[in-house]
Chains A and B, each alone.
Chain A
Amino acid sequence: MDLTFTPDQEVFRQEARTWLEANVPQPGVLRSLDTKEGFEDHRVFERTLFEGRWSVVSWPEAFGGRDVGIMEWLIFEEEYYRAGGPRRVSQNGIFLLAPTMFEFGTEWQLDRYMAKMASGEEIWCQGWSEPDAGSDLAGIRSKATKVDGGWILNGQKTWCSRGAFAHRCFGIFRSDPEADRHRGLTYYLIDMAAEGVTVRPIGQLDGETGFAEVFFDDVFVPDEDVLGGIGEGWKVAMATAGSERGISLRSPARYTEAAGKLMDLLASTPAGDLGGYDPRAAIADDVVKAYIDAEAYKLHTYMTATKVRAGHKVGAEASATKIFWSEADVNIHRAALRLLGEGADLYEAQERGGLDLSEWLDGYLFALSGPIYAGTNEIQRNVVAERMLGLPRG
């Protein structure tokens, strides 16, 4: 056990810090990534990251990465959040699809897609959920029919994050209606500009269109855009789900950074004057719990990264991880809003002790989606119970 970083890693950290301090825009400069203009603002920033070779540090150099290991990736993420870096508009591609591409993609697919994914030139959305297949993902009904040179897609996908503005979509369709529900699925890489694709944006809690419904009406996808084998869609999708719930979607830095600010917020909150009952003290314990959870998530991630580096695959623990980070995120932001009390729901800029208070509200709305997406936490608890504790399937 050695919980320190190597001198090389410290050099890497310093290099990242220096670059990010010089290049990360001030808060508020980029418009919301869930608007058309903000989406473009964020793509411009992705381009800047890519040109500095910071957009995908763990990828091979050929696709714009630095070919560094998982620990360096975690270091980069710590520095990214420390610098106040914006949400990544390319996250569905670089964090969810990319690990799957590197595992299952053909050489042609990697050459065609990865560099453009890394630079933000092509933004990807996920086409998995359907109106009648959410947590029960294997229940999807959108169809793929074999034709000469490719496939014809028909059906409807929904809750596609970034779907309103994305260029490409990675989706699962039922390619064999006769096979059993886990076997008849195939994974496709789809052009959102193809004929027959209709996008209907959906307003999220904040009113902006972070996600969308996507309709497929005789959409042609060429054979070379099948990812993994025909009928292998479930297996390929589960590899992505492992990344989504595991360590590649939510690096701990997001939480440790927010939790540190939360501790500052508590320190800067005036003590109440309600006789013997101090509401600040009543919230304080929740604040420290949230801080501790963020720290614990960081440590758990270092431990998982150690195992991954030794060749271990992340299995059912990914479900425990997803429950933990999504709830920690909600708890961090909820504690902040409780500390702010009356006025916590105001959009107008407020500041206290050098903190921009309106970030907590946005952060809370974002955090609330965590226990729902990537498989609800209820489904994840079933997985933990069955696969980590050995309980019988229901």
Chain B
Amino acid sequence: MDFSFSDDQQELRSAVAKVLSDWCTPADLHARYVALDADTGRAKGRWEAIADLGVCGLLVNEDAGGLGLSDVDLIGIAEEAGQVILPEPLSTTAGVVFPIAASTAAGAPVVAAALEQGLSATFGGVAFGPKRHSVSTTLDGAMATTPRVANGSADLFLLVADVGGELQVHLTGRDGVSVVATPSLDLTRDLATIHWTPSAETLIASGEAATALVEELLQRAALYSAAELIGLCDAMLTLTASYVSERKQFGVPVGSFQAVKHHLAGARVRLEFSRPALYRAAYSLATNASTAAHDVSMAKSMASDAADEAARVSLQCHGAIGYTFEYDLHLAMKRAWALSADFGDARSHRTRVFDLVSAARA
């Protein structure tokens, strides 16, 4: 039993964190709120800087152009992406789409080329429900489907569809889809609706193989969104702790009042106990543990609740300034709201935990 990260893992995380915080400041995020497409060059430069680190191929085997590392190496990096409220799909590309696509014969060369070119990726067409996954359905292969994705400006799209009753996983570039912006409350998520038609050229898995990939896709999506939520939670509490230590009322910092302390301490305790659950889930995915589904659902439900609570108390402890558009808190808060509901909210994952535990104990 060694529940810790190695020096190498910690160094890699710090190195990526440094690049992320240099390239993704609150000012950058505010700029995107004002005009998502008014690219000042920062967004393009930011993704290039991330791609140059090589982290997108972290989970991809070396013979497919990746680094051949594991989820335990990547999980802390995804936390850092949450910490800076990164608008780009770093954890989605590295933790979800690339490892899944690279595990198929048809997808592997596409991933290898994408790594070479520094491309980003996103996914859609599947949702996590309380009892089962819902999938975009087409009556037959000719009919287009319209899933929603985050990071609509990504280069590659991993899309799931039910084509005439058969589950299929497709991988396509931008030329295979039409992207229509579908703004959400968190504008920096770049939410979009994808119009596309499944075809033989984009198919990477079908039938049983697709079912297994979709299960893995949902676990990966839940795990890496949980990691970002933990980062967001930490960022919100740090920002709020700093604010209440400065802001004075009645001649003293408001953070010296117990009512304020207890709000923040409660959220800090939630964060403290959500982290080990996150790391165990990453370890279980990395080692193909039979408990991976349970461990991931537990981690996502805890992270969703922790971030939701942190958002709630952070706003309250800030007072009116936290309610403004110009202050930084809403950047993190809106991302936290979105991710806590995405890929299964806390309660859907608890339903899954109950089903898995009951089956195991019966």
- A→B interface (CB under 8 Å): 1-5, 9, 71, 260, 263-264, 266-267, 284-285, 287-289, 291-293, 295-297, 299-300, 302-303, 305-307, 310, 317, 320, 323-324, 378, 380-382, 384-386, 388-394
Output the least CB separation between B244 and chain A (Å): 7
Q: CB within 8 A of B264: which of A287, A288, A380, A385?
A: A385
Contacts A285-B347, A307-B4, A385-B255 given; 7 further ones with Cβ under 8 A? Answer: A264-B361, A267-B362, A293-B273, A299-B277, A302-B3, A303-B276, A385-B261
Closest to A296 in B: B273
Given contacts A295-B277, A391-B241, A391-B255, contact A306 B4 (CB under 8 A): yes
Are B350 and A289 in contact, with the CB atoms below 8 A?
yes
Are A296 and B4 in contact, with the CB atoms below 8 A?
no
Closest to A289 in B: B350
Which residues on A sit within 8 Å (CB–CB) of B241? 389-391
Residues from 229 to 265 in B contacting A, C-beta threshold 8 Å: 237, 241-242, 244-245, 252-253, 255-258, 260-262, 264-265
Are A323 and B269 in contact, with the CB atoms below 8 A?
yes
Output the least CB separation between B300 and chain A (Å): 11
Which residues on A sit within 8 Å (CB–CB) of B6? 1
Closest to B242 in A: A390
**6 smallest beta-carbon distances between A and B, as pairs:** A385-B261, A299-B276, A381-B265, A384-B265, A391-B255, A288-B350
Are B264 and A391 in contact, with the CB atoms below 8 A?
yes
Output the least CB separation between A47 and chain B (Å): 31
What class of interface size applies to chain B in its complex with A? 35 or more
Q: CB within 8 A of B3: which of A3, A9, A385?
A: A3
Are B361 and A389 in contact, with the CB atoms below 8 A?
no
Could you show 22 A-B contacts with beta carbons less than 8 Å apart?
A1-B2, A2-B1, A3-B1, A263-B357, A266-B354, A288-B353, A288-B354, A289-B350, A291-B353, A291-B357, A292-B301, A292-B353, A295-B277, A296-B298, A303-B275, A323-B265, A378-B262, A388-B265, A391-B245, A391-B264, A392-B245, A392-B256
Which residues on B sit within 8 Å (CB–CB) of A388? 265, 268, 272
Given contacts A284-B354, A291-B353, contact A392 B280 (CB under 8 A): no
Which residues on B sit within 8 Å (CB–CB) of A384? 265, 268-269
The 8 A CB mask of B273-304 against A (1 = contact, 0 = none) is 11111011001100000000000001001100
Q: CB within 8 A of A299: which of B3, B266, B301, B353?
A: B3
Output the least CB separation between B233 and chain A (Å): 12
B5 at the interface (CB under 8 A from A): yes
Q: CB within 8 A of B283: which of A3, A71, A264, A393?
A: A3
Q: CB within 8 A of B266: which of A9, A381, A391?
A: A381
A71 to B3, CA, bound (A): 11
A307 to B245, CA, bound (A): 30
B72 at the interface (CB under 8 A from A): yes
A92 to B256, CA, bound (A): 34
Are B268 and A385 in contact, with the CB atoms below 8 A?
yes
Which residues on B sit within 8 Å (CB–CB) of A391? 241, 244-245, 253, 255-256, 260-261, 264
The 8 A CB mask of B315-351 against A (1 = contact, 0 = none) is 0000000000000000000000000000000010011
Which residues on B sit within 8 Å (CB–CB) of A260? 357, 361
Output the least CB separation between B42 and chain A (Å): 31
Of the listed residues B1, B6, B284, the one surrounded by the most CB atoms of chain A closer than 10 A to its CB is: B1
Which residues on A sit within 8 Å (CB–CB) of B40? none
Output the least CB separation between B70 and chain A (Å): 9
Which residues on B sit within 8 Å (CB–CB) of A305? 1, 3
Output the least CB separation between A269 and chain B (Å): 12
Which residues on B sit within 8 Å (CB–CB) of A306? 1-4
Given contacts A1-B4, A297-B273, A317-B272, contact A381 B262 (CB under 8 A): yes
Are A382 and B274 in contact, with the CB atoms below 8 A?
no
Q: CB within 8 A of B261: which of A291, A300, A382?
A: A382
Closest to B297 in A: A292
Which residues on B sit within 8 Å (CB–CB) of A302? 1, 3, 276
A390 to B257, CA, bound (A): 13
Which residues on A sit within 8 Å (CB–CB) of B1? 2-5, 9, 71, 302, 305-306
Which residues on B sit within 8 Å (CB–CB) of A293? 273
Which residues on B sit within 8 Å (CB–CB) of A3? 1-3, 280, 283-284
Residues from 3 to 18 in B contacting A, C-beta threshold 8 Å: 3-6
Output the least CB separation between A267 and chain B (Å): 5
Are A385 and B262 in contact, with the CB atoms below 8 A?
yes
Are A392 and B253 in contact, with the CB atoms below 8 A?
yes
A299 to B276, CA, bound (A): 6
Q: CB within 8 A of A389: which of B257, B264, B301, B351?
A: B264
Output the least CB separation between B289 and chain A (Å): 9
Closest to B70 in A: A1
Which residues on A sit within 8 Å (CB–CB) of B358? 263, 267
A300 to B362, CA, bound (A): 27
Which residues on A sit within 8 Å (CB–CB) of B362? 267
Given contacts A1-B72, A299-B3, A306-B3, contact A392 B268 (CB under 8 A): no
A267 to B357, CA, bound (A): 10
Which residues on A sit within 8 Å (CB–CB) of B347? 285
Which residues on A sit within 8 Å (CB–CB) of B354? 263, 266, 284, 287-288, 291
Which residues on A sit within 8 Å (CB–CB) of B252? 392
A296 to B271, CA, bound (A): 11
A385 to B264, CA, bound (A): 7
Q: CB within 8 A of A285: which of B258, B262, B350?
A: B350
A295 to B268, CA, bound (A): 18
Q: CB within 8 A of A263: which of B257, B279, B361?
A: B361
Given contacts A320-B272, A384-B269, A385-B262, contact A394 B350 (CB under 8 A): no
